Amino acid sequence: MGKLAITGGPRAAEALSVPEWPQPTDTCREYLLEAFESADWCRGPWIERLEREFAEFHDAEHAIAVANGTVAIELALRAVGVEPGDEVLVPSYSFIASASAVPAVGAVPRFVDTDPATYNVDPESVREAITEDTVGLVGVHFAGYPMDMDELLPIVEEHDLFLIEDAAHAQGSEWRGEKVGTFGDFGTFSFQETKSLPSGEGGIVITDDDVLAERASTMQNIGRAQGETGYRHYHLSSNSRMSAFQAAVAIGQLEKLPEENEIREANEAILLEAFADIDGIETKPRDDRITARGYCVENVRYDPEGFGGLPRDRFIEALRAEGVPVYDGYEVPIYRQPAFFRDQVRRLLPPGIEVPDYRNLHLPGAEELCARNVSYSHPLLLADEPDIRTIPEAVRKVQTNVGELLEG
C-alpha cells in the first residue's frame, strides 16, 4: 500500500471529498427571504409551519420551537415539573448540556454509566443509580443510534420516572418503526449548525401529551398562554422562542433530510461491512430494532492491540494524514468537566442539598470511550460511494505500515 502519508507517502484517501456543511441551498435562501420580507420575524406562520412539519415528520402530536437544543432540555425539565433538589439521572458521555440542564433548573444530576458498545446510557447502571429522590432520566440517542427502549421503558415505568429523550443527534432515527423522541414525556432536538438539520442555532421539543405541550408552550413564551400576545403571564419563566429566520432555514433543511439520511445509512453500511474485517476497529452492534437512523457524529472504538500497540491519538494523526477527517471526540466524561466541580453545582441548588462528589466519580464505560473513541462527522457519509471506500483502505494502510510509526 506504499509509504504512510504521515511519513511522506501519498494519501490513501486523496480522492475523498467531504461535502460542505451546512449546505446553504436555494430553497433555504428562498424561505429566508420570504420570512424577511414578511416582516413577521417572531411568533407567526414560519414558526407554526416548522412546528407542524417537524411534528408530522416525527409522528408527534405537538412540537414547540425554541432558541437552541440546550434550552430545549431545560424547558422539558421545567414542564415535567422538576423541583429544586430533585434528583435526575443523566448520561456520562455526551455534550455537557445533556447534564448541565439539570442544575440549571435547580435539580441534582446523578450520572449513570455508558454502554461502550452503543455509546448510550447503560440500562443496568440506570437501575442501580435510582434512589428515593430520583424523579426522572435524561437519556441521549447518541450519534443517532437509539437507546434500548425495550430495556429502559420498563425501568422508567417501574419507578414512575419521567423520561426526556435528548435526540439532538437523532433527527429521523426510529426504534421498532417509531420515531425517537416520542417514547418519553418529551423529545428534545438541536438545530445547531453541525447537526444534520441545521439552522445555525435553534431547537425544538416534541410530545404526545396535551397537558405537557400546553405547559411547555406557555413556559417557552415568558409565561403567556398559547395564542396570547398580551401582557398576562401565568408562569414565571424565560423567553426561549425561536426567530422566524431560524424556522425558515430549518424548514428548508428538513425537506432534504430524509433523502440525506438514506444516503448516510447506505454509506455507513459500506463502512460497517469493511470495518468488520479490520482487527482493532470495533463498530456499534447491528440491531434490527433500529429501523431508521439519523446522524450527527459517528463513532468506532479503537483497540491498539490490532495496530501493534499504536496509541489512539497517533492512529488518528496518521489517518488524518491519509485524508480521512477523524477526531477523538469527548476528552473526558461530563462529570470530569471543571463545570461539574461540586462548588459550581452547589451554587445552583437550594441550601442543604447534598451534591455528589463528581470529581472522584469513576464510571468505566464512559472512561473507556474517552480513551478509545474515534469519531467522524455526518457530512462524511454524504460523500460519493467510491470516496467512501477509500476510508477503510486508509485504515488498512495505517495498519499494514504501523511499523513505520512504532519505529518513529
Please write the tens of the pLDDT for every residue from 25-44. 999 999 999 999 998 998 88
**Which residues are the active-site residues?**
95, 166, 169, 192, 195, 224, 231, 241
Which ranges in the chain are annotated with CATH 3.40.640.10? 26-253
Half-sphere exposure of 332 (CA within 13 A, CB side): 12
Q: Tens of pLDDT along 356-399?
A: 999 999 999 999 999 999 999 999 999 999 999 999 999 999 99
Q: Tens of pLDDT along 212-267?
A: 999 999 999 988 887 777 888 888 888 999 999 999 999 999 999 999 999 999 99
Q: Determine the pLDDT at residue 286.
A: 94
Please report, rounded to a whole number, the percentage of residues in the chain having pLDDT higher than 70: 100
Which ranges in the chain are annotated with CATH 3.90.1150.10? 5-21+257-330+369-407
CATH topology of domain 5-21+257-330+369-407: Aspartate Aminotransferase, domain 1 (3.90.1150)
Q: Determine the pLDDT at residue 408.
A: 62
- Among residues 100, 104, 98, the alpha carbon closest in space to that of 120 is found at 98
Q: Determine the pLDDT at residue 361.
A: 96
Residues, the chain, total?
408
Q: Tens of pLDDT along 114-133?
A: 999 999 999 999 999 999 99
pLDDT band at 210 (very low <50, low <70, confident <90, very high): very high
Please report, rounded to a whole number, the percentage of residues in the chain having pLDDT higher than 90: 92
Q: Tens of pLDDT along 51-76?
A: 999 999 999 999 999 999 999 999 99
Within 8 A by CB and 6+ apart from 26, the residues are: none
- Among residues 290, 330, 302, the alpha carbon closest in space to that of 145 is found at 290
Asked if 246 and 202 count as a contact pair (C-beta separation under 8 A), the reply is yes
- Among residues 109, 170, 118, 114, the alpha carbon closest in space to that of 138 is found at 109
Q: Determine the pLDDT at residue 42.
A: 87
Q: Determine the pLDDT at residue 380.
A: 98
pLDDT band at 1 (very low <50, low <70, confident <90, very high): low
CATH topology of domain 26-253: Aspartate Aminotransferase; domain 2 (3.40.640)
Cell numbers describing residue 250: 430549518
pTM above 0.85, yes or no: yes
Helix orientation angle between 244-275 and 390-400, rounded to the nearest 10 degrees = 50
- What is the average pLDDT score of the chain? 96
Give the sheet arrangement for strand 62-66, strand by strand: 62-66, 203-207, 186-190, 162-166, 134-140, 87-91, 108-112
Give the SS3 label for residue 330.
coil
